[in-house]
Amino acid sequence: MQMLADEPVSLAKILDISIKLYVASFTKWIGFSTVLGVLSLGFNWFIKQYIGPGADASALAEGGTVLLLAIVAVTLCSSMSYAAIVYRLDNAAHQRQDSFMEALQLGIKKTPSLLLAGFLYMLAVSVGTLLLLVPGIILSLSLLFHINFIVLDAKKAYGSLKASYALVKGSWWRTAGVLTVPMVLLLLFYFILIMLLGFIVKFAGIDGIAELIINLFSIASTPFFLTVLYVQFHDLKLRKSGADLAARLAG
């Protein structure tokens, strides 16, 4: 069954395709998403042990170095996992077979470019925000598809950012609408979840379960957002190729 559309579709259809692809590719992304969840739990534990209010003086003294190492490890593993998830989403969408190890190797290979692109992305957005808020907002969305270009189109760091900007150009508001809807839904669900967990902690006295459930939510929500991003990436490419063809015919 073909999942991706052959022509540009509406916002509602993009979300419909995203949900179907998200469900169909569950077995492909769950392993890497679980890695992200475990990393988050481990990092939170580290903060409590070395940096948190209950940490003793010796722990605080060595906490700086260990914190730096932990941040590096989490960043590397996260980049690898994001790349692997996007790769497996693409294979699921095109009904291609792959394996966990194949995706892992791809993720490791793409990590250097993703790290550099991520640094340039944050730099561009930060500078745009400091100079004037609006450019920062525009760039935060226009450059967002760099991960798809690196993983799927073999672009390097700087080239992926340029390609992402060109792809979103002329479709910024539409892209913002497509990505805002799932973000609002996820934030609404997250807010409700936090309220329920607050009730559980307060009246049932169960503290550790709250952090676990929040991480389970993250394990499920991160691949969903990457799926929406992937489907929108495909839709923008269809629109761009159609516009280029129309321009050539008109010329």
Q: Following DSSP, what letter does each residue of 42-97 receive, concatenated?
A: HHHHHIIIIISTT--HHHHHHHHHHHHHHHHHHHHHHHHHHHHHHHHHHHHHTT--
The pLDDT of residue 224 is 94
The pLDDT of residue 247 is 43
d(C-alpha 89, C-alpha 99), whole Å: 12
Average pLDDT over residues 98-108: 95
The pLDDT of residue 2 is 75
Band the pLDDT of 79: cuts 50, 70, 90. Answer: very high
d(C-alpha 158, C-alpha 147), whole Å: 11
Residue 242 predicted with pLDDT over 90? no
Tell me how crowded residue 21 is: count the other CB atoms within 10 A of its CB: 20
Show the tokens assigned to 112: 């250097």
The pLDDT of residue 42 is 79
The pLDDT of residue 249 is 47
Residue 21 predicted with pLDDT over 50? yes
Band the pLDDT of 245: cuts 50, 70, 90. Answer: very low
Which has the minimum average pLDDT: 118-122, 128-132, 245-249?
245-249
Q: Which residue is associated with the tokens 């499920």?
A: 220
d(C-alpha 165, C-alpha 69), whole Å: 33
The pTM score is 0.87
Q: Which amino acid is at 127?
A: V
- Mean pLDDT, the chain, integer: 86
Q: Following DSSP, what letter does each residue of 170-230 receive, concatenated?
A: T-HHHHHHHHHHHHHHHHHHHHHHHHHHHHHHHHH---HHHHHHHHHHHHHHHHHHHHHHH
Average pLDDT over residues 79-92: 96
Segment 36-77, tens digit of pLDDT: 888 888 777 777 766 656 555 555 555 667 777 778 888 999
Band the pLDDT of 246: cuts 50, 70, 90. Answer: very low
The pLDDT of residue 206 is 59
- Phi, psi values for residue 4, rounded to 5°: -80, 145
Average pLDDT over residues 183-207: 75
Average pLDDT over residues 180-209: 76
